[in-house]
C-alpha cells in the first residue's frame, strides 16, 4: 500500500441495491449500472460529481450482480479516478474470521468497511447512493458542513408538497438545524426531502455505526436508524438545501421520465456542460451514420448508431440500428438494440441487445390518447427478440422472446 | 518473435495545403471523430502489437495532444507501449533539425528502437489508410527468409491513376524486388504494384542498413536502401488486397472521408474497433426541424439545420436553416443560421456567421483554415 | 464494456482461502496477500507468471478479507495488467436474483463466475491457486495441452516418494495420459503431485461445472469432485510435468523455508531474473541506509530499511529498522517491523509493523542446538509490541502485545 | 485557484562535465534510486498539483525515458497530468532550435500552457533540490496581490559561497524586488538573498510578459523580465528556509549525494514520499563476507565487497575484495573483484575490471563516463 497524506473527505457510494422496482432492467445488472441518457449509466452521475468536486477516493459498496458494474468502473480512468493513492474501489461483502456476512443495510455496509475508510484517515465521509440523476458540487456542501461545524449534513431538496409524503422529510429550524426527521410522513411538516446525500464527521459516524451495530433491533439503515439515533442524542445535524435538478430513477416511469427530461430544453439537466462534465466509459464505436431516408426530430443519438427510419423524442444508446420505414417515438433504446424495417416502437424502454423484428409493433396503444402522463411504458428485456409482425401492447413487460405473431 | 511498430507520422509527398500547415498528416481528422493515425495504431493494437514508436518531424503538437500517453489505444504499457519520438533541436549535423530523409529519421531514433524488446520491425506510414493482418504479414516474412518484405497493392481505390509520389515497385517471377521508382506521372496502367509504405525487416538488419546509409550520406529509405540494395538484399513482395484510402491531396482527403458514407466500406473499416481520443462529449442531439441524409455525425454535435452527404466531426453546431452538403466539417465548428456550404472542408474551431455561402467543387474543395471566422 | 476479439486463454486465480494454517499471519489478510521474499506477496508469483506467459486476462476469486489484496492488485498496473479489454479483475461472491451465495468450493467459485469467463469467450481456461511460489511458463503448458488435444491438462511435479502421500497424486501412462487420480494416497503409485494448475478446454469445463453443481453430494472442489468425475467419464486428461522450483507456502514452516530458499544459492528459485521478472507493487520508500556499525551477511534487504545492527541469513521487507547492537538471524521481518537496540531475533517470522523493543529476545532457544531443521519458528503477529527485555521462547506464537518483561 | 507547474529541465549555468554530456540535469541520478527531477515533481504531486509541464531543450531522451507517461508520479491524468515539451526542430527564427533563453523556451510552449486549466503558474527549475509548500506559496502570492512572487533563500547549505551563476535578489523594506544580479564572484556575504528559481505568476500575466519580451528580442526571464520590469511590476520576495541542495558542479553533485548519508537530512528529504520510476528490481542482496558502512544501497544491488560512505544506485554489483569509498555509483554498474575506488563518480552501465584502482579528491572527484569499461 502506498502511503500518502490523509484525505480530507472520501466518498462511500451505496450501489448495492438490486433496484427491484426496475424489474427486468435489473435482472442481470445492479441498478447503478442501468444505462441512462444516451451513453451513461446511472452511477456516472455520482462518480462524475465526485471528480468535479475534487473528491478522488471513493468506495463503491456493492453486492448485487457486480459484473457489469465492475467492468464499467474498471480502473476508474474515465472519471480520472485511477489514482496511486486513493481512486475508486469496489467493496463487496467479504468473509472475516467468523465467516461472511452480506450487507444487511446501508449503515451495515459502511460498518463492514470501516477499515477501508480508516486507511485514508479522513476527517469527513460523504455517503452517496447510486440511483439518482443530478449534478451537485459536494465541495460546496462540505463548506457548509464546516461552516456549521456540523456532525452530519444532509442534502435536501424542495419537492412539491403533495409528493413530500413519499420521501424522508427534514424538519429544520431557520438556521437549517434539523430537529426532526420523518420517514414518509402521512402529513409532512416540511417539503424538504432527503436526497440520500450525507456528510459526516468520520469520528462521529464511526461511533454511531458501532452503536447501531450493537443494537439488535436496528435495520442498520441510515434513514431509519442512524439519523434518528443521532437526532435523539442531540447531535448537530444540518440540512443543506440543493437547488437544481434531482431525480430518483428507481421506477420504470421515473427512469423513462428522467431520460425524456434530457430532451426537454425546459428541464434544467443540461448534460452538455463542459465545466461539469458527466464522464462515462467510452463505447469505442464508430460515429453514427444517418441514412438517406432517415427522419429525425428532438432526439439524442449515440455513437455506433445506424438510422434509416424515423426517430422522434427518443434516446438511442450506442450501437442501435433503426431500419427503413421503422418508427421510434418517445422511447429509450439501450445499447445494441436493433429495430428492423417497418417496426414501430412507442413509449417504450428497450433493454440492451434486444431485437425488434420486421413490422413488429411495440407499445401499441389501442385506447384513445388521454395525455402523455397516462400513457403506460412498455418494457422489452435485454436480448429479447420480438418476432416479425408481433404486437406488444402498451404497458406490458416482455422478458422472453416472442417469436410468433401475437394478437391481443 | 516480438514486433516493434515504427510509424512515420509525416509524409514527404503530401500536398494538403492549409490542412497540414499546423499539423502533421497523421493527426488530420478523418471519418468524423478519428485522426488518420488512429486507423494504423488500432490496426497494430488489434493485432496484439503493443510496442509502437511514432516518428515525429515537425508540427507534431496536435499529434502529441491527440495521442497523449496512449491511454485510449491501451498503449500505456510497462513493456513496450507508445513513444512519440521528436527530433533533437541540436542535431549532430548542426542543421536546423529537419531530417534529410527517412533514413536520418530512423537513425536519430535508434537509441529508442534499441531499447525495445521487439526484434522484428514493421515500418508503416500514416498517410495511407488500410486494414492489414500484421501477424500474417510477419509470419509470411519469417517463412520466406527474405531480408525485407515490402507490401504493395494494385488497388487504385477508384482513382484513375496511381497516386503521385508513391513508390512503384517491380518484382521478378520469384516475387523479388528488382527495381523501384517514384511515381511522377499520371500512371494509369492496371496492375501497377505500388508501395503502401509498409516494410518488414529484422531490427538488427534495419539498424545496420541505416548506419551504413548514414555513413555514406544516403538519407532516403526507398531510394538509398530498398532500390540501391535490391540486388544485394532479398526484398520480397506481399500484396495487400483489402480496402485502401490514400490521402495526399485535398481532393483525395475529401474523397477519403466520403468513402465512409458507403456502408460496405464502413463495415470493412470498422470490423475491428478503431480507437481514438475520448472527448467525453454528449451524444449527438437532433433538434426539431433538422434534416440529415446520408451523413456521418459525431458525438457532441447539435444539428438544427440540414446535413446532406457530409462527414461531421465532434462538437459541431449547425444552426437553423443552414445547409451543409458534400462537406467535411472538423471539430468545434459553429455554423450559424442560414449558412450554405457545398464541397467545403472546414478545419477545426471555425465559425461561419449567419447567411454565409461557400461552395467549392469535388475536384477542388474550398478549405477554410483552422480557427477562421467567416 | 469494450468489445474486442476473443481471448485464447484466460486465467482464473483461486485466492479465496483464508489459509488458516498460517495462523495469525492471515488474521487480517487473505493468504495470497501474505508478504514473501523481501518485497513480494505470494500472489505476485502467479500474476507475474501470467504476464510473462502472455496471459492478459485474469479473474481473481476472493471472499476472505480482500481489502489488502484489492489494494495490492489495484488496477493491475505493476503486472502490466491494466488493459482496456481484459486485465485483472477481483471477483467476489455476489447476490443474484435469489440472494447471495458464498463460494462453497473451488469449482463452485468458477461456476459462479461463468458469466465473467463467457465475456471473453476463451477457448481455454487456466485455473491457478494463490498459494504457491514458482516460476512457470503457462504458454508452454498450453502448447502441450493443444498438442495432446486434451480436455484437461494438470501440471504435476515430482516430489520425494516419502512426501507423495501428502499430495494429490496423478497416475499417468507413458503418453502422460492420466488414468487415475488419488487424493493423499496412503500408498502412492506415483510421485507426480498435482500443482493445482489446470488448463481446461472451456466448453468441457463448463459442462462439468454445471453437472457438478447439480450433484448435491459434491463438495464442488476441483481435486475431490470435478477431476474424478472427468476421469470416470474417460475424458482426455493429461499430466504436464513441471521441472523447477515449486513450493506450497501454506504453513508457517514452509513459508519460512521458502523464504530461506531465496538466500540459498543452491536452490533454483532465482528472483533476479530479468526475462522472467516477478512484478509487485512498489513501496515508494527511500533507498535503504546501512549504518556505521552494521554487520550484514547473506541477507536480502529492501527499500526503506535502516540497519544499524547485525543481520544474517535474514530477509528484511520494506521499511524495517534494526537498531544498534540488535541481532537478527535466520528470520523474516515483514514490512514496517522495528527492532530496537540490543534486541535479538532468531528463527522468527515477524509480521507487519510489529515492534520489538530494546533488549527483547524473540525466538530464544534454551535447548542445545540439534540442527536447523529442528529449530521451531517463532511468530510475532502484525502490529504486536514486544516490550523491553521481554523474552519470547522459540516456537511460540504471539498475537498480543507483551509489555512486561516475561520470564519462563 | 488551479495551479500549473512549469519545470525547466535544463540549466544554463551548470558545469557538470561528462555527467550532462548525454543527459539533461533533471535526469541526473541522485540519492541512489532517484533522478533529480523526482524531488521537484513529487513536491508538486504531494501538494496536490497534478498539472505539470516540463520544458526540455536538448539531451532529453534520458529524461523522457525516465518520466515515461508519468505513471509513477500519478500524473497520467485526464485533466492536467504531465507533459514533456520538446522544442520544434524547425523554429520560426530558422536557427538551430536551441532556445535563446528562458523567455523563448516559454514562448515556444505557450500553446500548451494555454490549454492547461491552471490559471496560476509556479515556475521551477530542476537543478536545485528542496521541499517547499507550494500551496502556502500560492496562497501567500494571492494574498499579497503581487504580480510575481520570487522565492529566495539565505541558506548556503554548508557552501562557503553563494553558488556561481544564481540570481542574487535585492528587496526593499516592503519586500519588493528592486534589483537582481547574477552571481559571478565567490560571494560569501551572509544574508544574501539568492533565487532558488521558483516564481509564482498568473498565467495570463506570464503570457503577456513573454509575448512582449519576445517582441523586443529579449530572451532571458531573469534579466529581461524580472530585473528590467522590477520598477513596473510588484515582485514580492518569499523566503525558503528548509533544506536545500544546489547541483551545478561536479563537486556540488558529489556533496549533494553525500548529504543523504546524514539521517537528519534524509528524514527531512523523505518526510513525504518521493516517487520515481519503478524498475521491478529484487531487494538488495548482501553476501557472506560483505562489509557496508554508512552507505545508501538501492534495490537490485548485489554486494560481495566493501562499501563505505557511498551512495549506490540500482542494480549495481560490487565484487569480492573490492572497496568502494566516498563514491557515487550509478545504476547497472559492475565492479569486479579487487577493485578500489575512492572519491569516484561512476556513471551508469560502467564496468570496472578486476583490481583497477581509481581515486579522486572530494573537491575534484574522478568522473567515469557512461558505459565506459575500465
Q: Is A351:A334 a contact under the CB 8 Å cutoff?
A: yes
How far is it, in rounded angstroms, from Cα B374 to Cα B340? 12
Contacts of D65 in chain B (CB under 8 A): 115
**Interface check D271 vs A, CB under 8 A:** no
Between vectors from CA C196 to CA C193 and to CA C202, what angle results, nearest 5°? 125
Q: Is the pLDDT of residue D193 over 50?
A: yes
Candidates D31, D286, D291; nearest CB to C287: D31
The mean pLDDT of C227-244, rounded to a whole number, is 95
* ipTM score of complex: 0.89
**Interface check C277 vs D, CB under 8 A:** yes
What is the sign of the dihedral through the CA atoms of A162, A168, A174 and A175? Answer: negative
Distance from CA of D54 to the nearest CA of B (A): 14
Distance from CA of A2 to the nearest CA of C (A): 6
pLDDT digits (tens, 9 = 90+) for D271-315: 999 999 988 999 999 999 999 999 999 999 999 999 999 999 999
**Where in B213-355 does DSSP place strands (E)?**
235-239, 244-246, 284-286, 291-293, 295-297, 302-303, 306-308, 311-312, 317-318, 323-325, 328-329, 334-335, 340-342, 344-346, 351-352
Chain C, residues 70-89, CB within 8 A of chain B, namely 77-78, 80, 82-85
CB pairs A-D closer than 8 Å: 18
- The percent of chain C in helix, strand and coil, each rounded to the nearest 5, is 25, 30, 45
Is residue B186 helix, strand or coil?
coil
Bridge partners of A59, per DSSP, are: A12, A89
Inter-chain residue contact C2 with A281, CB threshold 8 Å: yes
pLDDT digits (tens, 9 = 90+) for D111-141: 889 988 899 999 999 888 999 999 999 999 9
Comparison of pLDDT for A96 and C166, the residue scoring more: C166
**Interface check A268 vs D, CB under 8 A:** no
Contacts of D86 in chain B (CB under 8 A): 86, 89
What's the distance, Cα to Cα, between the start and end of chain D in Å?
A: 54
Q: Is B260:B266 a contact under the CB 8 Å cutoff?
A: yes
What was the pLDDT predicted at C1? 33
The mean pLDDT of D321-328, rounded to a whole number, is 97
| Residue B102, number of CB atoms within 10 A of its CB | 25
Which long-range CB contacts under 8 A does B299-307 form with residues at least 24 apart?
Answer: B299/A39, B299/A287, B299/A302, B299/A303, B299/B33, B300/A272, B302/A272, B303/A296, B305/B335, B305/B337, B305/B339, B307/A290
Model confidence at C99, in pLDDT bands (50, 70, 90)?
A: low
Candidates A277, A284, A300; nearest CB to B285: A300
How far is it, in rounded angstroms, from Cα A326 to Cα A329? 10
What is the sign of the dihedral through the CA atoms of C261, C263, C265 and C271? Answer: positive
Q: In what order do the strands lie in the sheet with C310-312?
A: C295-297, C310-312, C327-329, C344-346, C361-364, C391-393
Q: Is A120:A86 a contact under the CB 8 Å cutoff?
A: yes
Across A27-49, b (16+ Cβ under 10 Å) vs e yields bbbbbbbbbbbbbbbbbbbbbbb
**Interface check D61 vs A, CB under 8 A:** no
How far are the Cα atoms of A148, A155, B189 from residue A141, in angstroms, in the given order? 11, 8, 73
Cell of residue B64, nine digits: 502529441
The mean pLDDT of C162-177, rounded to a whole number, is 91
| Residue A304, number of CB atoms within 10 A of its CB | 22
Q: Is the pLDDT of residue D93 over 70?
A: no
**Interface check C38 vs D, CB under 8 A:** yes
Bridge partners of D129, per DSSP, are: D245
What was the pLDDT predicted at B133? 95
CATH number for the segment(s) B285-368: 2.160.10.10
CB pairs B-D closer than 8 Å: 64
Chain B, residues 5-44, CB within 8 A of chain A, namely 31-33
Mean pLDDT score across all residues of chain D: 91
Model confidence at C367, in pLDDT bands (50, 70, 90)?
A: low
CB pairs C-D closer than 8 Å: 95
Q: Is D301:D316 a contact under the CB 8 Å cutoff?
A: yes
Contacts of D290 in chain C (CB under 8 A): 296-297
Inter-chain residue contact A77 with D78, CB threshold 8 Å: yes
Model confidence at C370, in pLDDT bands (50, 70, 90)?
A: low
The reply to whether domains B3-269 and B285-368 share a CATH topology is: no
Inter-chain residue contact A287 with B297, CB threshold 8 Å: yes
Question: What is the pairing mode between strands D167-171 and D177-182?
Answer: antiparallel
Contacts of B73 in chain D (CB under 8 A): none
Question: pTM of the prediction?
Answer: 0.91
Domain D3-269 has CATH 1.10.10.10: no
**Interface check D272 vs C, CB under 8 A:** no
The mean pLDDT of C324-337, rounded to a whole number, is 96
Q: Exposure of A343 by Cβ count < 10 A (0-12 exposed, 13-18 middle, 19+ buried)? A: buried
What was the pLDDT predicted at C154? 97
Contacts of B79 in chain C (CB under 8 A): 80
**Interface check B361 vs A, CB under 8 A:** no
How far is it, in rounded angstroms, from Cα B76 to Cα B73? 8
Inter-chain residue contact C72 with A115, CB threshold 8 Å: no
Candidates B58, B70, B91; nearest CB to D88: B58
Candidates A271, A291, A298; nearest CB to B282: A271
How far is it, in rounded angstroms, from Cα A93 to Cα A91? 7
Q: Which residue of A has its CA nearest to B261?
A: A289
Q: Is the pLDDT of residue D94 over 80?
A: no
Q: Is A331:A350 a contact under the CB 8 Å cutoff?
A: yes
Candidates B77, B78, B273; nearest CB to C4: B273
Q: Exposure of B170 by Cβ count < 10 A (0-12 exposed, 13-18 middle, 19+ buried)? A: middle
Model confidence at D4, in pLDDT bands (50, 70, 90)?
A: very high
Q: Is A351:A368 a contact under the CB 8 Å cutoff?
A: no
**Where in C233-360 does DSSP place strands (E)?**
237-241, 246-248, 288-290, 295-297, 299-301, 306-307, 310-312, 315-316, 321-322, 327-329, 332-333, 338-339, 344-346, 348-350, 355-356
Q: Which residue of D has its CA nearest to C272?
A: D282
How far is it, in rounded angstroms, from Cα C214 to Cα D99? 75
The DSSP secondary-structure symbol of A221 reads -
Chain B, residues 306-335, CB within 8 A of chain C, namely none
How far is it, in rounded angstroms, from Cα B225 to Cα B237? 15
Residues of chain B with pLDDT under 50: 90-95
Q: Which residue of C has its CA nearest to D296?
A: C289
Contacts of B20 in chain D (CB under 8 A): none
Inter-chain residue contact B299 with A78, CB threshold 8 Å: no
Distance from CA of A283 to the nearest CA of C (A): 6
Q: Is C347:C332 a contact under the CB 8 Å cutoff?
A: no
What was the pLDDT predicted at C268? 87
Polymer length in residues for chain B: 374
What was the pLDDT predicted at B94? 46
DSSP per-residue string spanning C346-395: ESEEE-TT-EE-TT-EEEE--SPP--GGGPPPEEE-TT-EE-TT-EEETT
Contacts of B78 in chain C (CB under 8 A): 77-78, 80, 279
Model confidence at C383, in pLDDT bands (50, 70, 90)?
A: very high
Chain B, residues 186-245, CB within 8 A of chain C, namely none
Inter-chain residue contact C84 with B76, CB threshold 8 Å: no
Model confidence at D156, in pLDDT bands (50, 70, 90)?
A: confident
Q: Is C70:C90 a contact under the CB 8 Å cutoff?
A: yes
Residue B278 CA to chain centroid, in angstroms? 19
What was the pLDDT predicted at C373? 53
Q: Exposure of C151 by Cβ count < 10 A (0-12 exposed, 13-18 middle, 19+ buried)? A: buried
Helix (H), strand (E) counts: chain C = 8, 33
Residues of chain A with pLDDT under 70: 1-5, 17-19, 96-100, 366-374, 404-408
Candidates B269, B284, B294; nearest CB to A292: B294
Question: What is the pairing mode between strands A306-307 and A288-290?
Answer: parallel
* Residue extents of the structural domains in chain D: 3-269, 285-368
Residue B131 CA to chain centroid, in angstroms? 12
How far are the Cα atoms of A165, A175, A185, D59, D69 from residue A190, in angstroms, in the given order? 10, 15, 10, 69, 53
Mutation pick from C93, C98, C381, C382 vs chain A, by most beta carbons of A within 10 Å, is C93
Inter-chain residue contact B283 with A311, CB threshold 8 Å: no
Contacts of D77 in chain A (CB under 8 A): 80
Across A77-87, b (16+ Cβ under 10 Å) vs e yields bbbbbbbbbbb
Interface partners of chain C (CB pairs < 8 Å, 3 or more) are A, B, D
Task: Name the nearest CA neighbour of C319 among C284, C362, C349.
Answer: C284
How far is it, in rounded angstroms, from Cα B246 to Cα B125? 11
**Interface check A284 vs B, CB under 8 A:** yes
**Interface check D294 vs C, CB under 8 A:** yes
What was the pLDDT predicted at C2? 39
Q: Which residue of C has its CA nearest to B80?
A: C80
What was the pLDDT predicted at A367? 63
Inter-chain residue contact A82 with D273, CB threshold 8 Å: no
- The percent of chain D in helix, strand and coil, each rounded to the nearest 5, is 25, 30, 45
Distance from CA of D127 to the nearest CA of C (A): 20
What was the pLDDT predicted at B91? 45
Interface partners of chain B (CB pairs < 8 Å, 3 or more) are A, C, D
Contacts of D62 in chain B (CB under 8 A): none
Chain D, residues 118-147, CB within 8 A of chain C, namely none
Candidates B59, B65, B86; nearest CB to D86: B86
**Interface check D290 vs C, CB under 8 A:** yes
Inter-chain residue contact D31 with C77, CB threshold 8 Å: no
| Residue D156, number of CB atoms within 10 A of its CB | 16
Amino acid at each position: 500500500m502506498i502511503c500518502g497524506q490523509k484525505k480530507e473527505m472520501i466518498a462511500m457510494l451505496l450501489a448495492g441495491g438490486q433496484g427491484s422496482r426496475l424489474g427486468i432492467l435489473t435482472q442481470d445488472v445492479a441498478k447503478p449500472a442501468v444505462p441512462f441518457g444516451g451513453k451513461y449509466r446511472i452511477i456516472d452521475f455520482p462518480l462524475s460529481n465526485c471528480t468535479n468536486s475534487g473528491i478522488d477516493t471513493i468506495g463503491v459498496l456493492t453486492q448485487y450482480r457486480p459484473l457489469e458494474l465492475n467492468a464499467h468502473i474498471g480502473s476508474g480512468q474515465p472519471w480520472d479516478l485511477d489514482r496511486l493513492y486513493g481512486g475508486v474501489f469496489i467493496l463487496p461483502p467479504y468473509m472475516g474470521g467468523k465467516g461472511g456476512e452480506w450487507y444487511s443495510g446501508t449503515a451495515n455496509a459502511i460498518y463492514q468497511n470501516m477499515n477501508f475508510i480508516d486507511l485514508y484517515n479522513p476527517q469527513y465521509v460523504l455517503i452517496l447512493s447510486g440511483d439518482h440523476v443530478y449534478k451537485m458540487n459536494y465541495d460546496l456542501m462540505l463548506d457548509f458542513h464546516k461552516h456549521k461545524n456540523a456532525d452530519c449534513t444532509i442534502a435536501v431538496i424542495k419537492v412539491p408538497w403533495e409528493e413530500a409524503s413519499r420521501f424522508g422529510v427534514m424538519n429544520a429550524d431557520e438556521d437549517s438545524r434539523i430537529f426532526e426527521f420523518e420517514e414518509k410522513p402521512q402529513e409532512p411538516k416540511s417539503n424538504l426531502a432527503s436526497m440520500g446525500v450525507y456528510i459526516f464527521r468520520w469520528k462521529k459516524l464511526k461511533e454511531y455505526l458501532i452503536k447501531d451495530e450493537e443494537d439488535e433491533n436496528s435495520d442498520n439503515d441510515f434513514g431509519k436508524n442512524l439519523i434518528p439515533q443521532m437526532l435523539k442524542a442531540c447531535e448537530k445535524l444540518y440540512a443543506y438545501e440543493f437547488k437544481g435538478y434531482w431525480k430518483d430513477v428507481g421506477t420504470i416511469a421515473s427512469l423513462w421520465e428522467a431520460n425524456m427530461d434530457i430532451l426537454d430544453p425546459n428541464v434544467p439537466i443540461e448534460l452538455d456542460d463542459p465545466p461539469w462534465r458527466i464522464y462515462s466509459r467510452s463505447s469505442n464505436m464508430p460515429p453514427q451514420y444517418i441514412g438517406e431516408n432517415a427522419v429525425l426530430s428532438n432526439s439524442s443519438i449515440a455513437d455506433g448508431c445506424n438510422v434509416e427510419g424515423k426517430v422522434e423524442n427518443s434516446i438511442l444508446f450506442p450501437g442501435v440500428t433503426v431500419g427503413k420505414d421503422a418508427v421510434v417515438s418517445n422511447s429509450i433504446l439501450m445499447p445494441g438494440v436493433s429495430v428492423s424495417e417497418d417496426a414501430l416502437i412507442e413509449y417504450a424502454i428497450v433493454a440492451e441487445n434486444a431485437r425488434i423484428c420486421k413490422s413488429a409493433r411495440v407499445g401499441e396503444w389501442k385506447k384513445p390518447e388521454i395525455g402523455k402522463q397516462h400513457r403506460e411504458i412498455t418494457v422489452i428485456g435485454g436480448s429479447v427478440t420480438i418476432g416479425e409482425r408481433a404486437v406488444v401492447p402498451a404497458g406490458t413487460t416482455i422478458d422472453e422472446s416472442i417469436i410468433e405473431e401475437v394478437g391481443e | 518473435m516480438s514486433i516493434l511498430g515504427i510509424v512515420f507520422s509525416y509524409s514527404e509527398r503530401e500536398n494538403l495545403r492549409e490542412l497540414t500547415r499546423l499539423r502533421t498528416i497523421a493527426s488530420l481528422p478523418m471519418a468524423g471523430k478519428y485522426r488518420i493515425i488512429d486507423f494504423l495504431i488500432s490496426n497494430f493494437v488489434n493485432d496484439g502489437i503493443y510496442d509502437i514508436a511514432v516518428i515525429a518531424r515537425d508540427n507534431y503538437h496536435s499529434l502529441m495532444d491527440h495521442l497523449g500517453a496512449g491511454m485510449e489505444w491501451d498503449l500505456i504499457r510497462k513493456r513496450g507501449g507508445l513513444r512519440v519520438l521528436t527530433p533533437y533541436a541540436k542535431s549532430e549535423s548542426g542543421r536546423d533539425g529537419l531530417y534529410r530523409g527517412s533514413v536520418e529519421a530512423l537513425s536519430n531514433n535508434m537509441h529508442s528502437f534499441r531499447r525495445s524488446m521487439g526484434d522484428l520491425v514493421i515500418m508503416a506510414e500514416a498517410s495511407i489508410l488500410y486494414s492489414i493482418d500484421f501477424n500474417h504479414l510477419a509470419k509470411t516474412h519469417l517463412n520466406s527468409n527474405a531480408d525485407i518484405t515490402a507490401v504493395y497493392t494494385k488497388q487504385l481505390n477508384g482513382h484513375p491513376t496511381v497516386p503521385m509520389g508513391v513508390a512503384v515497385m517491380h518484382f521478378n517471377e520469384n516475387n523479388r524486388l528488382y527495381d523501384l521508382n517514384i511515381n511522377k506521372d499520371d500512371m494509369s496502367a492496371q496492375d501497377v504494384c505500388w508501395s503502401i509504405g509498409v516494410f518488414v525487416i529484422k531490427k538488427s538488419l534495419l539498424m545496420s542498413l541505416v548506419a551504413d546509409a548514414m555513413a555514406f550520406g544516403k538519407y532516403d529509405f526507398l531510394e538509398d536502401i530498398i532500390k540501391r540494395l535490391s540486388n544485394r538484399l532479398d526484398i520480397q513482395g506481399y500484396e495487400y488486397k483489402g480496402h485502401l484510402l490514400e490521402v495526399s491531396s485535398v481532393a483525395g482527403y475529401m474523397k477519403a472521408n466520403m468513402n465512409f458514407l458507403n456502408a460496405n466500406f464502413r463495415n470493412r473499416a470498422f470490423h475491428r474497433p478503431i480507437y481514438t481520443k475520448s472527448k467525453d462529449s454528449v451524444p449527438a442531439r437532433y433538434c426539431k426541424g433538422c434534416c440529415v441524409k446520408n451523413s456521418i455525425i459525431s458525438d457532441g454535435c447539435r444539428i438544427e439545420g440540414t446535413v446532406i452527404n457530409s462527414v461531421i466531426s465532434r462538437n459541431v453546431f449547425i444552426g437553423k436553416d443552414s445547409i451543409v452538403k458534400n462537406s467535411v466539417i472538423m471539430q468545434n465548428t459553429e455554423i450559424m443560421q442560414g449558412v450554405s456550404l457545398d464541397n467545403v472542408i472546414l478545419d477545426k474551431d471555425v465559425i461561419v456567421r449567419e447567411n454565409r455561402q461557400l461552395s467549392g467543387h469535388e475536384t477542388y474543395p474550398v478549405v477554410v483554415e483552422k480557427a477562421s471566422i467567416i
